[in-house]
């Protein structure tokens, strides 16, 4: 139980005893005490002033005295400033926190809870390589899955691959036209990049053809339809839908190139999936919903035969669910896929990591499922995240301003290498160890950078400035860990006795207080679906440790008791850093 949840019943008891007032837990506001005041945690008194008809000063005095009287083991001092009751928690309490948890590797995590949750993330198109936006998605999805897993959920990571449609045909057509049978192997190109090149070639050629037609006097709108390469693409899509063997073969071949490329990237950045869905298999799903929906009166049919749902009462619009030609649209497929996932896994929750441009779409999806009375509808959660933008604005593939995922990882690795060599601290590492270290630091920096911001908010990535290993970064936290391990390596053989007494110094105390908050931080992360809470926490913890470490020696502590205490502090800090970073998908190096 966290210190805050322990303080609350004590306060409730006091309020009841002194004033016969019953306070609910949520009425009590308890914050950490600001550094400029004396105390560890602070009870905000203003909310009781009116009901209890006493001044904040008197209330604070009376409550403070009663708390110490009732629980001298927990509270040792208090002071009242304005409407704030600052409480000092007993050293013995903090000692106990440390003693109980310092060697635990899974402090803050939880036992199995028999809940099953699906996390769908990444969800790429198979016509181009992954970019920075995908990385935010992937790191977020992986992290939230890991956090839930470590907190007792059964987690199924899934991915819906957008492997069909007009955009896929575009790269296929361009390959037919321009590739001369070239392959990733023959050109020594990573498969997803190889296919992506043809997607770009398509657009270049398309633009050229449209321009040519416009110059010959055709209206732009018509030119866009008439361009031969576009007409060929449209035809290919029809052929694909008809199952034309030649087209299917090309499609299979090119997609396999892309998958081989994705696999390399996924492996390098540590992404994994238990279940892959392919849109080519799911795009016809969902039609059963149309029947059911019409029968239930949730959907209605227009004169032309198209089927709709009226969501105006919910503040949304009318939404099409079936075209007049009887084919399904995107939302229909998603209805079908949600059902298929449920049939397969019977999830309690289904989290979709999808960019915020689809907020409306996801709202509609959930709403329709609720209206259809699907038992799994309420468990659907859209983990919406903002776009990653460049200083110049939004990334646009057509303008070539997309930051490629593989490129940025490689660049980070190069910086990690250069910086490591410059510092020269690991000259005895083998080649393999160095390579691993560079990857650890590079991905640590990148993941931390993308995860430290609230997912809901859009963020800016500055290619020059974002590659930084100082300050609020992954490498800063990793470095703190490496330093601690360096100390601990030196005392491997020392037995650590239990330390239960002794006055804690300010910086020792600050560190324990911070460590104690870790479980609550994880809980907050889950309720908010927001890993940035952990990133911010773990950074502050590292900072807190560094301040302590600079000020107080561990090896040459004032007494053996202090030395033991600080070793425990070191070990617990290292464990929490490793754990927290692990929840973000970031490794921590023993040395760097």
Residues 355-384 contacting RNA, CB under 7 A:
356-361
**CA end-to-end span of the chain, whole Å?**
35
Tokens of 346: 């019977």
What is the spatial distance between Cα 496 and Cα 564, in angstroms, rounded to a whole number? Answer: 6
> Would you count residue 81 as binding RNA (CB under 7 A)?
yes
> Would you count residue 452 as binding RNA (CB under 7 A)?
yes
What is the spatial distance between Cα 331 and Cα 500, in angstroms, rounded to a whole number? Answer: 61
> Would you count residue 275 as binding RNA (CB under 7 A)?
no
> Would you count residue 309 as binding RNA (CB under 7 A)?
no
> Would you count residue 306 as binding RNA (CB under 7 A)?
yes
Pick the binder of RNA from 138, 549, 571, 578 (CB under 7 A): 549
Q: What's the residue count for the chain?
A: 592
> Would you count residue 494 as binding RNA (CB under 7 A)?
no
> Would you count residue 153 as binding RNA (CB under 7 A)?
no
Q: Which of residues 39-68 bind RNA (CB under 7 A)?
A: 39, 42, 44, 46-47, 50
Closest to RNA by CB, 40 vs 155, is: 40
> Would you count residue 459 as binding RNA (CB under 7 A)?
yes
Q: Which of left, alpha, beta for 458 (phi over 0: left; psi -120 to 50: alpha)? A: beta
CB of 542 vs RNA, minimal distance in Å: 7
> Would you count residue 129 as binding RNA (CB under 7 A)?
no
CB of 411 vs RNA, minimal distance in Å: 15
Q: Which of residues 25-44 bind RNA (CB under 7 A)?
A: 29-31, 33-34, 36-37, 39, 42, 44
Q: Binding residues for RNA, how many (CB under 7 A)?
A: 93
> Would you count residue 428 as binding RNA (CB under 7 A)?
no
CB of 184 vs RNA, minimal distance in Å: 24
Contact partners, residue 438, CB within 8 Å, separation at least 6: 413, 416, 417, 420
> Would you count residue 425 as binding RNA (CB under 7 A)?
yes
Contact partners, residue 143, CB within 8 Å, separation at least 6: 451, 531, 583, 584, 585
Pick the binder of RNA from 330, 367, 372, 523 (CB under 7 A): 330
> Would you count residue 300 as binding RNA (CB under 7 A)?
no
CB of 114 vs RNA, minimal distance in Å: 29
Pick the binder of RNA from 83, 196, 379, 585 (CB under 7 A): 83
> Would you count residue 485 as binding RNA (CB under 7 A)?
yes
Backbone angles phi, psi at 43, to 5 degrees: -95, 125
Contact partners, residue 126, CB within 8 Å, separation at least 6: 161, 162, 163, 168, 195, 254, 255, 258, 259
CB of 346 vs RNA, minimal distance in Å: 26
Instruction: Determine the interface stretch with RNA among 174-182, 185-193, 246-254, 326-334 (rule: CB under 7 A).
Output: 326-334
> Would you count residue 2 as binding RNA (CB under 7 A)?
no
Q: Which of residues 510-539 bind RNA (CB under 7 A)?
A: 532, 536, 539
- 475-478, long-range: CB < 8 A, 24+ apart: 475/416, 475/441, 475/444, 475/445, 475/592, 476/539, 476/542, 477/444, 477/448, 477/538, 477/539, 477/542, 477/577, 477/581, 477/586, 477/588, 478/440, 478/441, 478/444, 478/581, 478/586, 478/588, 478/589, 478/592
- C-beta separation of 98 from 568 below 8 A: yes
């Amino acid at each position: 139980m966290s210190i805050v949840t322990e303080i609350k019943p004590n306060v409730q008891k006091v309020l009841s005893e002194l004033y016969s007032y019953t306070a609910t837990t949520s009425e009590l506001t308890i914050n950490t005490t600001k550094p400029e005041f004396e105390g560890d945690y602070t009870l905000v008194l203003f909310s009781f002033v009116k009901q209890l008809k006493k001044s904040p000063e008197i209330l604070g005095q009376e409550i403070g005295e009663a708390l110490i009287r009732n629980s001298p083991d927990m509270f040792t001092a208090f002071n009242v400033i304005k409407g704030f009751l600052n409480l000092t928690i007993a050293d013995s309490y903090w000692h106990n926190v440390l003693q109980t948890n310092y060697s635990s590797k899974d402090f803050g995590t939880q036992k199995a809870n028999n809940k099953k949750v699906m996390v769908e993330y990444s969800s790429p198109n198979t016509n181009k390589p992954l970019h920075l936006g995908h990385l935010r998605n992937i790191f977020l999805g992986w992290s939230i899955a890991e956090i839930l897993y470590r907190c007792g959920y059964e987690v199924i990571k899934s991915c819906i691959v957008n492997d069909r449609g007009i955009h896929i045909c575009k790269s296929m057509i361009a390959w037919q036209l321009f590739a001369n049978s070239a392959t990733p192997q023959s050109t020594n190109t990573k498969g997803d990049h190889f296919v992506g090149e043809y997607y770009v070639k398509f657009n270049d050629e398309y633009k050229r053809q449209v321009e040519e037609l416009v110059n010959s006097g055709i209206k732009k709108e018509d030119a866009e339809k008439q361009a031969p390469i576009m007409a060929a693409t449209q035809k290919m899509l029809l052929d694909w839908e008809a199952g034309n063997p030649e087209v299917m073969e090309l499609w299979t071949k090119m997609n396999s190139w892309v998958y081989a490329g994705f696999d390399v990237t996924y492996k390098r950045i540590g992404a994994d999936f238990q279940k892959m869905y392919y849109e080519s298999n799911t795009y016809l799903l969902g039609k059963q919903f149309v029947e059911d929906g019409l029968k239930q009166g949730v959907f209605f049919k227009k004169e032309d035969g198209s089927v709709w749902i009226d969501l105006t009462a919910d503040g949304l619009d009318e939404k099409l669910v079936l075209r007049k030609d009887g084919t399904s649209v995107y939302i229909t497929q998603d209805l079908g896929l949600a059902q298929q996932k449920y049939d397969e896994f019977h999830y309690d929750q289904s989290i979709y990591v999808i960019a915020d441009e689809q907020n409306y779409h996801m709202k509609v999806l959930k709403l329709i499922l609720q209206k259809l009375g699907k038992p799994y509808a309420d468990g659907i959660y859209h983990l919406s995240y903002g776009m990653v933008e460049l200083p110049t604005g939004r990334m646009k593939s057509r303008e070539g301003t997309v930051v490629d995922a593989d490129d940025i990882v490689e660049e980070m690795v190069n910086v990690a290498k250069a910086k490591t060599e410059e510092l020269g601290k690991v000259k005895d590492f083998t080649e393999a160890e160095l390579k691993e270290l560079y990857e650890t630091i590079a991905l640590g920096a990148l993941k931390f950078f993308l995860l430290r911001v609230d997912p809901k908010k859009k963020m800016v990535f500055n290619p020059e400035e974002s590659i930084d290993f100082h300050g609020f970064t992954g490498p800063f936290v990793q470095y703190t860990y490496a330093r601690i391990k360096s100390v601990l390596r030196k005392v491997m053989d020392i037995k650590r006795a239990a330390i239960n007494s002794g006055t804690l110094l300010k910086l020792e105390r600050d560190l324990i207080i911070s460590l104690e908050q870790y479980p609550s931080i994880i809980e907050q992360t889950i309720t908010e679906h927001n890993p940035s809470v952990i990133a911010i926490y773990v950074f502050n913890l590292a900072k807190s440790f560094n301040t302590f470490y600079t000020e107080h020696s561990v090896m040459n502590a004032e007494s053996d008791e202090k030395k033991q205490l600080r070793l425990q502090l070191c070990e617990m800090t290292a464990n929490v850093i490793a754990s927290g970073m692990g929840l973000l998908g970031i490794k921590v190096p023993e040395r760097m």
